[in-house]
Amino acid sequence: MALIGLWWLLSNFYPPYILPSPGSVIARLIAEVAKGPLLEHLAVTAGESLLGLLLGASLALPFGYLLARSDWLEKAVSPYLVAAQAIPTVALAPLIIIWFGFGLISKVLVASMVAFFPICMNMIAGMRRVGRNQYDLMRIFGASTWQIFAKLELPTALPVLLTGLRMGMAFSVIGAVVGEFASSDRGLGYLVNVSAGMMDTALMFVALITLAILGISFHLLFRLVEYLLRGRF
């Protein structure tokens, strides 16, 4: 509330194209929702983010597991992983678009690239929580490789892994928006780009607020998944 109050106060000193008032932004938000395209843009970005997370996680989880189980592999691959992470996604996005076109695939790929690293790193950290004695116990119990994974490794890694997935989710939204910045005709990133070009600051605020709502929704969704999964394990 204090932030909105400060915003309202400052908006009195600047023209609307620099800083629109909270009231005008809310009015614009309602108008855009009523018109329809805003929800379509939201759906596009949400879809790209979720698909990006899905692709990133489906690559990062087995990759992180293998790295955690093999010191040799981790030593061999880690430098390249860190180097790849050091290249800003904004710089890679145009290349991805040249290679994969302007459609959904390029945005999903950018989102998955950004989501990959935190999920992979947290998978490794989670797996490292399993102690030698716990592995020894499972061997004494006669557990199979699958049982060791399902009954020991996964539950032990889960709290850290879920944090990684939550971070990956937030990062995949950023990746999707970056992809839309680079080249797109739809999505919230596109809306921010277009509104900036038209100096329509109120619309830009609407797009940013919608992005924030999207981020919070994903966060709450993950909290729910965490709660349900922790109950099961």
Partner 1 sequence: MRTKGTSMEQHGSHGAPWPQGAQQAQAAQGSQTAVFCQGVTVSFTGVHNELQNIDLTIHPGESVALVGPSGCGKSTLLRVIAGLLEPDAGTAEVFGSDGSPSERGIGFVFQEATLFPWLNALENVAMPLELQKYLSAADCREHARAALKDVGLLQWAEKYPRELSGGMKQRVALARALVTDSRVLLLDEPFAAIDALRRERFNYELWRLACKRNLTMLVVTHSINEAVSMSHRVVVMAEDPGRIVGEVTVDLPEQRDLATWSSQNFHDACTQVRQILEETGALMHGDTDTSMRCAETETGVHAHAHARN
Residues binding partner 1 (CB under 8 A): 131, 133-134, 136-145, 147-148, 151-152, 155-156, 230, 233
- Smallest distance, Å, CB 149 to partner 1? 11
- Smallest distance, Å, CB 140 to partner 1? 4
Nearer residue to partner 1 within complex by CB, 1 or 140: 140
CB 173 within 8 A of CB 218: yes
Nearer residue to partner 1 within complex by CB, 151 or 186: 151
Neighbouring C-beta atoms of residue 219, cutoff 10 Å: 13
Give me 116's structure tokens: 């990959």
Residues 6+ apart with CB under 8 A from 12: 21
DSSP assignment of 177-222, as one string? Answer: HHHHHHS-SSSHHHHHHHHHHTT-HHHHHHHHHHHHHHHHHHHHHH
- Smallest distance, Å, CB 122 to partner 1? 18
Nearer residue to partner 1 within complex by CB, 70 or 144: 144
**Among 71, 85, 119, 72, which residue's Cα sits nearest to residue 222?**
119
CA 217/CA 173 separation, integer angstroms: 12
CA 62/CA 183 separation, integer angstroms: 31
Nearer residue to partner 1 within complex by CB, 16 or 159: 159
Burial class (CB in 10 A: 0-12, 13-18, 19+), 43: middle
CB 171 within 8 A of CB 165: no
Nearer residue to partner 1 within complex by CB, 138 or 178: 138
Nearer residue to partner 1 within complex by CB, 80 or 146: 146
- Smallest distance, Å, CB 127 to partner 1? 15
Nearer residue to partner 1 within complex by CB, 5 or 131: 131
- Smallest distance, Å, CB 233 to partner 1? 5
- Smallest distance, Å, CB 68 to partner 1? 16
- Smallest distance, Å, CB 136 to partner 1? 5
CA 1/CA 224 separation, integer angstroms: 27
